Structure 1
Amino acid sequence: MTVLTRRPVGVVAQAATPAAAVTRRPVEGSVHSWDLSTGVDGPGSRFVTFLSGCPLTCLYCHNPDTWRMRDGRRTSADAVIAEARKYTRFIAAAGGGATVSGGEPLLQPVFTGELLHRMKHELGLHTALDTSGFLGVRATDALLRDVDLVLLDIKSWDRDTYKKVTGRPLRPTLDFAHRLADLSQDVWVRFVLVPGLTDDPANVEGVAAFAASLGNVSRVDVLPFHKLGEPKWQALGTPFTLHDTPPPTPDELAAARAVFTAHGLHAV
């Protein structure tokens, strides 16, 4: 992940009446980094803004340095939009868009909403929101109207496993998923296959059946567990409890994807 240099942005002045001017504070948020990616954060090549702060502490998180909002850089929406604008022609040609990720972007719903709105209406980009759904109640209807695609991470169907993986309950994610279905919001479900943790056949079946029941899931990404983020855990002085867990084999991934396919879902 590449952290690019942010340019400071000044206060924007907006005329309120001919006789006076009102100073408007720019919308700001805590940003970890931004980057260009292809294939993993929505369709096509995308400008991805990674926000800082997350209420989950997933055991396999590859970016634990995004957990605390105070560790991010205070950045204005103007600065993010200015950076994204540099790549709009390339992104459009590549059939991509812009994704707001994290951390958990709904921990900063005002900032996230501002970015999505401006990416969509000012830059004309396809927009995606990458979220665990745990803070789905913070996503206003107005925010969701500026989202073309939700990347919804469902870590587990088994409640105890979900709590073990994330430190949080599953119910808010399911409630948010139902809300997105009611809104006919396009969703890609993302599920990380972790041997010995989330790969129980009943667990995979549960996620698949739930995703299929929603009616608005156009794709499922079955993602292999990896340990690329382990050095970050070490740098933070935090034990990485999955150190001895192997990644799933190609056959194990294929078997999990087959479960989703059997439910009529497009699984990759």
Structure 2
Amino acid sequence: MSTVQALEPGSRHELRVGISPDAPDEDKVKDEVGAFGYCHSYESSSRYDGPGLRVVLFMSGCLLRCTYCHNPDTWHLKDGTYVSAEQVLKRLGDFAPSLRSLGGGLTISGGEAMVQLAFAKRIFAGAKAMGLHTAIETSGFLGDRVDDSFLSVVDLFLLDIKSSNPDTYRKVTGRDIAPTLRFAERLASINKPVWVRFTLVPGFTDDPANVEGIAKFVAPMKNVEWVEVQPFHQMGEFKWKAMGLEYKHYDTPPPSRDLVNRVIEQFRSAGCNAR
């Protein structure tokens, strides 16, 4: 049984491994209460992960294995810290007055928060009770697990659509694309606000047809407020090396400014608000 520990402040770029060796596998989480969960860290002053100034909580556990992931130390629960939702909310409460005054709130990222759905829901509900805006960054792969009560405590979905081509999606994530697209369509059907995020990886996801496929899928969705093009970077390379994982992107360069502009323009030409 994992030991409850203190939630650590820090950065998504810090390596944290082997903290809770008795944790279950990320695909075997069975928790309907959500009083405790596994987290990597939190940041207290992000202006990137949703509107305004935000606290970002990085949860542990993910079923995707993206080849360019910059946080592979969030894949497994065993690498996270076992904390109580009560402690998370108490710490969040310290920031709440400033977050409200600056138009911000709480974003839960990962990893994939839907691995620990009850834990995430409890924290979101607590944040809403503080009057905070709530957002989740998710691949949508586990969207079929989400019920209406969970949707009611999340104001914004930062939805990663990594490819429109099923073969490319499986190549870069190890999973099927269909659950993500199904979840996107569900969010559109209830008009839930979404920012679509697309990671631009030269030689992997930059094919014009791949980008065009995402653009045409997203453009008719009136709930999608932004498409955000995220350039690939090498900031997570050291984690792969430290964890003894095979990293396929040692020679992958960041996308050029011209390439980023081309992709943004593809989204805009299709009718998306893109940046």
> Match for 1:105: what amino acid?
A
* Post-superposition offset of 1:142: 0.2
* 1:83 corresponding residue in structure 2: 91
* 1:218 corresponding residue in structure 2: 225
Is there any run of 5+ residues in structure 1 with no aligned partner, and where?
A: 6-24
Distance in 2 between residues matched to 1:3 and 1:221, nearest whole Å: 29
* 1:10 corresponding residue in structure 2: none
* Post-superposition offset of 1:263: 1.9
Written as runs of structure 1 = structure 2, the 5 A alignment for 1:1-268 is 3-4=8-9, 27-121=35-129, 123-268=130-275
The ranges of structure 1 where at least 4 consecutive aligned residues each deviate by more than 3 angstroms after the TM superposition are: none
* SS of aligned partner of 1:87: helix
Distance in 2 between residues matched to 1:36 and 1:248, nearest whole Å: 29
* Post-superposition offset of 1:93: 2.2
Superposed CA offset, 1:141-191 (max 9, x none): 101011110000000001100000000000000000011011110000000
* Post-superposition offset of 1:254: 0.8
* Post-superposition offset of 1:26: 7.3
Is there any run of 5+ residues in structure 2 with no aligned partner, and where?
A: 1-6, 11-32
* Structure-2 change in CA distance of 1:153 and 1:26 (3 Å): closer
8 Å Cα contact 1:222-1:253 kept in structure 2? yes
8 Å Cα contact 2:46-2:56 kept in structure 1? no
Distance in 2 between residues matched to 1:113 and 1:49, nearest whole Å: 13
**Larger % of strand: which?**
1
TM-score (norm 2): 0.87
* Post-superposition offset of 1:127: 0.3
* Post-superposition offset of 1:215: 2.2
Q: State the superposition RMSD in angstroms.
A: 1.4
* Structure-2 change in CA distance of 1:26 and 1:209 (3 Å): closer
What is the identity percentage for the equivalent residue pairs of Structure 1 and Structure 2? 49
Distance in 1 between residues matched to 2:86 and 2:182, nearest whole Å: 33
* SS of aligned partner of 1:246: coil
> Match for 1:63: what amino acid?
N
Q: Work out the number of aligned pairs and report it.
A: 247
Larger Rg: 1
Superposed CA offset, 1:214-251 (max 9, x none): 22100011000001000011110112111100000111
* SS of aligned partner of 2:219: helix
> Match for 2:114: what amino acid?
L
